[in-house]
């Protein structure tokens, strides 16, 4: 994002609880299956979706709040329902570049899980429903999975200076993947790690 406005005054945006869209947003990113291709274990299913029109899996609206001596970002992600093969739609997931940077995620709508994992392999899954707020400590990679039949949207708040490091998650994924088995979300060991 370029030309982030600097203001030392209080700033508000307006959030719509029915859509998960707030305004004004200063930036909008779309992540399509082509952006996430390496994240899913079923590569044949990925290829099929690429040929079928490369759908949007999630979108993120951002509003950075920058003052003369601070930075803070608001990001609202709308993660659409669906699966790639039997693996539920999910965000890419990332570590923060800076080792001292946490984040707050607030689930507003939908259901699923927040997956978290350290570089040492400590893995957690937080069950998410509307109203769940999770503090993500520094040095925990984080990814959201939508296991419901409706859009899942959540608010993220973090320092812009935290930075996003996608490389480790892109290479290895998380310890477990969330797949549909017998019509239910089920955790299984990540086939890419075996
Ligand atoms: O800063 C965050 O953690 C979020 O705003 C995420 O960037 C957002 O949910 C999209 O996920 P990812 O960055 O892993 O694609
Ligand atoms: Ni983050």
Residue 2 pLDDT: 67
Contact yes or no for 81/89 (Cβ under 8 A): yes
Report residue 107's pLDDT band, with 50, 70 and 90 as the boundaries.
very high
Residue 19 pLDDT: 97
Which residue has a Cα nearest atom 2 of ligand 1? Answer: 156
Question: Could you read off the pLDDT of 109-154 as tens digits, one per residue?
Answer: 999 999 999 999 999 999 999 999 999 999 999 999 999 999 999 9
Q: Among all ligands shown, which has an atom nearest to the Cα of 61? A: 1
Q: Is the CB of 77 under 6 A from ligand 1?
A: yes
Close Cβ partners of 99 (under 8 Å, ≥ 6 residues apart) = 138, 139
Q: Is the CB of 156 under 6 A from ligand 1?
A: yes
Question: Could you read off the pLDDT of 68-94 as tens digits, one per residue?
Answer: 999 999 999 999 999 999 999 999 999
Report residue 3's pLDDT band, with 50, 70 and 90 as the boundaries.
confident
Q: Is the CB of 73 under 6 A from ligand 1?
A: no
Distance CA 67, CA 18 (A): 30
Q: Is the CB of 164 under 6 A from ligand 1?
A: yes
95 CA distance to ligand 2 centroid (A)?
7
């Amino acid at each position: 994002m370029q030309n982030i406005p600097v203001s030392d005054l209080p700033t508000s945006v307006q959030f719509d609880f029915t859509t998960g869209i707030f305004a004004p947003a200063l930036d909008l990113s779309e992540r399509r299956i082509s952006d996430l291709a390496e994240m899913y274990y079923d590569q044949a299913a990925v290829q099929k979706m690429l040929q079928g029109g490369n759908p949007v899996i999630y979108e993120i609206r951002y509003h950075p709040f920058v003052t003369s001596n601070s930075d803070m970002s608001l990001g609202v992600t709308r993660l659409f329902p669906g699966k790639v093969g039997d693996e539920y739609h999910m965000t890419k997931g990332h570590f923060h570049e800076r080792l001292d940077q946490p984040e707050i995620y607030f689930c507003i709508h939908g259901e699923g899980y927040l997956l978290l994992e350290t570089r040492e392999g400590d893995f957690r899954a937080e069950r998410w429903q509307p109203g769940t707020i999770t503090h993500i400590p520094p040095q925990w990679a984080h990814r959201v999975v939508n296991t419901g039949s409706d859009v899942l949207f959540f608010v993220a708040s973090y320092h812009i200076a935290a930075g996003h490091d996608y490389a480790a998650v892109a290479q290895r994924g998380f310890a477990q993947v969330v797949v549909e088995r017998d019509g239910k979300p089920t955790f299984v060991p990540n086939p890419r790690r075996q």
